[in-house]
């Protein structure tokens, strides 16, 4: 049975990816900080739950120590905090975005790469964002982190050439999930709901999980370098169809 580790698995794209990979027959370790949510997901899907903060080096090392072999690592944990201009940057939020999106992904890759190589055909899927490919006003803390995550992903592909590991980037645009915008706006439900209001068909978490599962299931000589996925109603971060 193929094995997978999915970070940020307690909600949204991560949880949808766990469900999808379980349905596709993977043995899945679902990683997140919130154990209660992971327990519910484990009861539903049969995945293993691993309570872990990807900013905690010791905890990531412990996971690596019990993972001698791994087929698929999905680095999905991440997120945005705030939407303020650079001149008013909340540097604590910027630090958090850097720690989770960039350092967390680097930490997981560094720890689990030997296990991916040991599988003989490992796949790393880094879930970045269209924010890693373009910038928008107010988004610099997040877009800078996602650009960095993307740069790291492309660098990895160069550095691992010749090793049995494929490096995939999945970059979603607008995805209506339970928590992404809520977290960005510090729990302001009204502001979070306004992000998706009137948009005829934002992506849902399952759409992105579908991309991840598809990219990871190509034959072993096929590397999907980059998959950018947006709703039909979105042409760019700020160019979106809204029906009143
Ligand atoms: C989410 C997409 O446009 O909010 O990663 O940055 S956006």
Torsion, CA 29, CA 34, CA 40, CA 43, rounded to 10: 30
Residues of the chain with pLDDT under 70: none
The residue whose two tokens read 């979106």 is 240
| Class for the domain spanning 3-240 | alpha beta
Please tell me the predicted confidence (pLDDT) of residue 101. 98
Question: Active site includes 142?
Answer: yes
Give me ligand 1 centre to Cα 237, in Å.
7
What is the pLDDT at residue 244?
A: 83
Residue 88 backbone dihedrals phi, psi, to 5 degrees: -115, 25
Note the pLDDT tens digit of each residue in 195-218: 999 999 999 999 999 999 999 999
Question: How far apart are the CA of 106 and the centre of ligand 1, in A?
Answer: 21
pLDDT reported for residue 111: 98
pTM of the model: 0.97
CB atoms within 10 A of CB 107: 20
Q: What strand order describes the sheet that includes 3-7?
A: 48-51, 27-32, 3-7, 72-75, 122-127, 165-172, 226-229
Pairing of strands 234-236, 239-240: antiparallel
Whether 140 is in the pocket of ligand 1, judged by its Cβ within 6 Å, is: no
């Amino acid at each position: 049975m193929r094995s997978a580790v999915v970070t940020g698995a307690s909600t949204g794209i991560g949880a949808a990816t766990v469900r999808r990979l379980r349905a596709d027959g993977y043995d899945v370790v679902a990683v997140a900080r919130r154990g209660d949510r992971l327990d519910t997901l484990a009861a539903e899907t049969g995945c293993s739950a691993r309570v872990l903060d990807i900013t905690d080096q010791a905890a990531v090392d412990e996971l690596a120590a019990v993972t001698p072999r791994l087929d698929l690592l999905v680095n999905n944990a991440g997120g945005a905090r705030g939407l303020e201009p650079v001149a008013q940057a909340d540097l604590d939020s910027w630090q958090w975005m850097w720690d989770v999106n960039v350092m967390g992904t680097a930490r997981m890759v560094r720890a689990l790469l030997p296990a991916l190589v040991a599988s003989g055909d490992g796949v790393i899927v880094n879930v970045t964002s269209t924010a890693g490919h373009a910038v928008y006003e107010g988004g610099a803390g997040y877009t800078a982190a996602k650009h960095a995550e993307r740069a790291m992903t492309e660098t990895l592909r160069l550095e691992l050439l010749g090793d049995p590991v494929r490096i995939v980037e999945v970059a979603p645009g607008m995805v209506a999930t339970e928590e992404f915008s809520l977290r960005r706006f510090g729990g302001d439900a009204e502001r979070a709901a306004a992000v998706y209001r009137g948009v005829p068909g934002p992506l849902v978490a399952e759409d992105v999980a579908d991309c991840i599962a598809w990219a990871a299931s190509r034959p072993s000589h096929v590397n999907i370098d980059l998959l950018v996925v947006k709703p039909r109603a979105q042409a760019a971060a700020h160019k979106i169809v809204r029906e009143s």
